[in-house]
Chains A and B, each alone.
Chain A
Amino acid sequence: MNQPDKVQQHWAATQRLTYIMIGIWAFFSFFIHMFAPALNGIKILGFPLGFYMAAQGSLIVFVVQLFWFSGAQDKVDRKYGMAEDD
């Protein structure tokens, strides 16, 4: 692989990862809460599920997602030789 190819592939992989992240973000920011009234029918430890998702569930997803993202993007950078020196 020569350098320009690597640059292009690195960016393509970065874009792919970003789109996945934005997809997860959109799902847990908006989509799932559209069903909050229905989800509230399910109760866990006293929490109506719809309420729980907006109060904690989505937040936990965001936190885990960001640690995962920072590892995954670093892998992409290293794979194409675009990572910073350690």
Chain B
Amino acid sequence: MATEAKTDFTSNLGRIYTIYTGGFVAFVIFIAILERVGVPNNILGYLFVAFTIGVYAAIGILSRTMQVDEYYVAGRKVPSFYNGMATAADWMSAASFIGMAGTLYLLGYDGLAFILGWTGGYVLVATLIAPYLRKFGCYTVPDFLAFRFGGNAARIAGIVVLMSCSFTYVVAQIVGTGLIGARLLGMSFEMAVFVGLVGILVCSMLGGMRAVTWTQVAQYIVLIIAYLVPVVILSTQKFGIPIPQLTYGTVLSEIQIKEAALGVSAAASHIVPFARYDPLNFFALVLCLMVGTASLPHVLMRYFTTPSVREARSSVAWTLLFIFILYFTAPAYAAFAKLEVFENVIGKPLGQLPGWIYSYGKIGLIQICGVNAVDVASITAACGRIAGHTGILGLANFAIQADAIVIATPEIAGLPYVVSGLVAAGGLAAALSTADGLLLAIANALSHDVYSRMINKDAPVKKKLIIARVLLVVVAIIAAYVAAGRPADIVAMVAWAFSLAAAGLFPALVMGIWSKKTTSAGAVAGIWAGFLTTLTYLVVTRYFPGFGVDVMGMTSHVHPVTRVPLVDLAKLKAEQPAIFQQGMVLINHPLASRVGYFNVANISAGLFGMPIGFITMWLVSKFTTAPNMEMQNFIDDIRRPRGAAVMIEKAG
């Protein structure tokens, strides 16, 4: 019966998700009608949250399972198209949804490093890693490392890297739900974090990977509709063409004209490359983000769920297509917002700014003359304190946070609240889907790799699955607890995850598949060398920059264009030697993230760790005994799709 029902479900997927999408659109229209008849905004916002989380919860509960391979890999029955959607939702986080367009607004061309880095990595996933891991047939990434590199030393190294890249990442998603709830729905931050925690647990706890898969597909549909609607309407209003990805070319031209009129130097224009990141840092960042993408366990494990190696490959292509739809829209958001600011904000008298400035100034996303833009009186007072201020808003007086761009676009376009509510639901879907995937990656590493493989190998299936769920809840609660404390550095630390994964896991995964000569000792040494190099660079440059300068011989980064050092270290040392003695410094410390080697910013720390990881692996392998014949045959086996999986779990 169970298998029949499942087959029925899989063959009806198209119909089920079409009905679901239609239902969601009908719900949005219903909310729009409620708004028309005068239902207050905060009620509409709560309806959005309650409805979407309710649907995710229903999917989560319907997908409950007590079978091991359903729990860990969704029974390996997910068709490539749907796995592509689920992986896209798994991949695109709160930061992609809310923050990416804003980063592009602030950085211009150089922000495109994130667009390139977070898409191109899938070429590496498809060609170098995912199909081979699918053939291998493991439940987790450390599983593969343990099998290929002879045991628990490699498994533990893999788990440590996995934990250090995934935990801060999941905390950031929960912080994301808190911010979305607080800014868009008027909830308290703590309340929104709690709602996020519940939303994550109902989706993942009962059904593991199976439930997460089908909710992620549902979440993708919500988030992509929510992302496209505001900017499509904006493009239609302005150009009569509902394709913002094409029309923003004209916007870019207009931006350049405005920039010239406002006195922005040509070298600092929105479209000019390498004005904020020099070429070395731009390409280093692209590389670290791409290679990190190809090594992050919560992404790789999604490709364990397809029915075949062939479908694992096509699934990566679908994933990238679904991600592409959002990522090639983000620069359009940035351009439209920038033009709005240049046309209707900068150069206007303080009394005549558009209303959206104050809506987002109130929640701390827009500052004018150094204060939050709460109302006309407060900014007039603040600008009045600046000597020689004429009452006309200048470029230098205006600051907008990256997170404001996507959130503010519906109001910039003059759209009703229902669209803002839709954006909130989309952001929530992005945060929850990524959190689900990460949480599962962490909890599965603990339950499968640590408990079932190392502590109690003979545990009965039922006990394994109970342990898996208990660990899932525990990790989720710890993550929510950390998130509720609003850790200041969390967003920056997410970017670290890519460098850590790139240096810690990528060499071992690639060499494990592509080189028969890489030995267990080589791999373990390489993982630690790459991971620790990267971690050291990150921690020293960010938290102990004085130590970095004094003991490790680091130098100041230089300005990307003028090449002048950001900090005159010798002068600072002479005037304020105490600055160099401080440890665990705050983000606004004069040296924090401003020193390093070869001018490489710490966000690209993987640039050091990756080659060190590869070289160590190669060198140590050269001097240790090559893998035996059995292992070499096993490597041959994972290289060809035909035949049974190499590692077959005990049926459960």
Interface of A toward B, CB cutoff 8 Å: 7, 10-11, 14, 18, 21-22, 24-25, 28-30, 33-34, 36-37, 40, 43-48, 50-52, 54-56, 58-60, 62-63, 65-67, 69-70, 73-74, 77, 81-84
Q: Given A58-B116, A63-B321, answer yes or no on A69-B127 (Cβ-Cβ < 8 Å).
A: yes
Residues of A within 8 A of B640 (CB): 7, 10-11, 77, 82
Most chain A CB within a 10 A radius of its CB, from B115, B246, B252: B252
Residues of A within 8 A of B126 (CB): 21, 66, 69-70
Residues of B within 8 A of A56 (CB): 245, 328, 331
Provide 22 A-B residue pairs closer than 8 Å at the C-beta atoms, listed in order of the A residue: A10-B639, A25-B124, A29-B116, A29-B290, A33-B116, A33-B273, A33-B286, A36-B109, A45-B246, A46-B251, A51-B273, A58-B119, A59-B116, A59-B120, A62-B120, A62-B123, A63-B320, A69-B126, A70-B310, A74-B313, A83-B310, A84-B641
Q: Given A40-B273, A56-B245, answer yes or no on A82-B642 (Cβ-Cβ < 8 Å).
A: yes
Residues of A within 8 A of B248 (CB): 46
B636 near A47: Cβ-Cβ < 8 Å = no
Residues of B within 8 A of A63 (CB): 317, 320-321, 324
A51 near B112: Cβ-Cβ < 8 Å = yes
A46 near B286: Cβ-Cβ < 8 Å = no
Q: Which of B131, B331, B639 contacts A55, CB < 8 Å?
A: B331
Q: Which of A22, A46, A65 contacts B253, CB < 8 Å?
A: A46
Residues of B within 8 A of A62 (CB): 119-120, 122-123, 320, 324
Residue of B nearest to A40 (CB): B271
A66 near B320: Cβ-Cβ < 8 Å = yes
Question: What is the CA–CA distance of A66 and B308 in the complex, to the nearest angstrom?
Answer: 17
A49 to chain B, nearest CB (A): 10
Residue of A nearest to B123 (CB): A25
Question: What is the CA–CA distance of A83 and B324 in the complex, to the nearest angstrom?
Answer: 29
Interface of B is mostly: helix
A37 near B314: Cβ-Cβ < 8 Å = no
A-B contact count (CB 8 A): 145
Question: What is the CA–CA distance of A59 and B245 in the complex, to the nearest angstrom?
Answer: 13
B175 to chain A, nearest CB (A): 28
Q: Scoring B residues 237 to 280 as 1 if CB is less than 8 Å from chain A, else 0, what string do you get?
A: 00000000110111111000000000000000001111000010
Given contacts A21-B127, A24-B123, A63-B320, 6 further A-B contacts (CB under 8 A): A59-B119, A66-B316, A74-B313, A82-B641, A83-B310, A83-B641
Report if B327 contacts A (CB, 8 A): yes
B123 near A47: Cβ-Cβ < 8 Å = no
A47 near B127: Cβ-Cβ < 8 Å = no
Residues of A within 8 A of B271 (CB): 40, 48, 50-51
A58 near B321: Cβ-Cβ < 8 Å = no
B642 near A54: Cβ-Cβ < 8 Å = no
B642 near A81: Cβ-Cβ < 8 Å = yes
Residue of A nearest to B327 (CB): A59
Report if B309 contacts A (CB, 8 A): yes
Q: Given A33-B116, A70-B317, answer yes or no on A59-B290 (Cβ-Cβ < 8 Å).
A: no
Residue of B nearest to A71 (CB): B314
Residues of B within 8 A of A43 (CB): 253
Question: What is the CA–CA distance of A48 and B282 in the complex, to the nearest angstrom?
Answer: 19
Residue of B nearest to A29 (CB): B120
Contact count band on B? 35 or more
B272 near A37: Cβ-Cβ < 8 Å = yes
Question: What is the CA–CA distance of A21 and B328 in the complex, to the nearest angstrom?
Answer: 22
Residues of A within 8 A of B123 (CB): 21-22, 24-25, 62, 65-66
Residues of B within 8 A of A44 (CB): 249
Q: Which of A28, A37, A51, A58 contacts B274, CB < 8 Å?
A: A37
Q: Given A25-B120, A46-B250, answer yes or no on A70-B314 (Cβ-Cβ < 8 Å).
A: yes
Residues of A within 8 A of B251 (CB): 46
B122 near A66: Cβ-Cβ < 8 Å = yes
Among all A-B residue pairs, the 3 with the closest Cβ atoms: A46-B249, A66-B317, A54-B112
Q: Which of B109, B309, B316, B317 contacts A51, CB < 8 Å?
A: B109
B317 near A67: Cβ-Cβ < 8 Å = yes
Q: Given A25-B123, A66-B126, answer yes or no on A54-B115 (Cβ-Cβ < 8 Å).
A: yes
Residues of A within 8 A of B567 (CB): none
Residues of A within 8 A of B313 (CB): 69-70, 73-74
A48 near B252: Cβ-Cβ < 8 Å = yes
Q: Scoring B residues 610 to 640 as 1 if CB is less than 8 Å from chain A, else 0, what string do you get?
A: 0000000000000000000000000010011
A74 near B127: Cβ-Cβ < 8 Å = no
A19 to chain B, nearest CB (A): 9
Residues of B within 8 A of A77 (CB): 310, 640-642
B588 to chain A, nearest CB (A): 31
Report if B608 contacts A (CB, 8 A): no
Question: What is the CA–CA distance of A58 and B331 in the complex, to the nearest angstrom?
Answer: 14
A37 to chain B, nearest CB (A): 6
A46 near B320: Cβ-Cβ < 8 Å = no
Report if B371 contacts A (CB, 8 A): no
A55 near B328: Cβ-Cβ < 8 Å = yes
B120 near A54: Cβ-Cβ < 8 Å = no
Q: Given A7-B640, A65-B123, A77-B640, answer yes or no on A40-B272 (Cβ-Cβ < 8 Å).
A: yes
Q: Which of A18, A33, A59 contacts B127, CB < 8 Å?
A: A18
Question: What is the CA–CA distance of A82 and B636 in the complex, to the nearest angstrom?
Answer: 12
Q: Given A25-B120, A30-B286, A65-B123, answer yes or no on A11-B328 (Cβ-Cβ < 8 Å).
A: no
Residues of B within 8 A of A50 (CB): 109, 271, 273
Residues of A within 8 A of B122 (CB): 62, 66
B272 near A59: Cβ-Cβ < 8 Å = no
Question: What is the CA–CA distance of A64 and B128 in the complex, to the nearest angstrom?
Answer: 17
Residue of B nearest to A19 (CB): B127
A83 to chain B, nearest CB (A): 6
Report if B481 contacts A (CB, 8 A): no
A46 to chain B, nearest CB (A): 3
Residues of B within 8 A of A69 (CB): 126-127, 313, 317
B323 to chain A, nearest CB (A): 9
Question: What is the CA–CA distance of A8 and B249 in the complex, to the nearest angstrom?
Answer: 50
Residues of A within 8 A of B131 (CB): 73
Most chain A CB within a 10 A radius of its CB, from B112, B122, B123, B249: B123
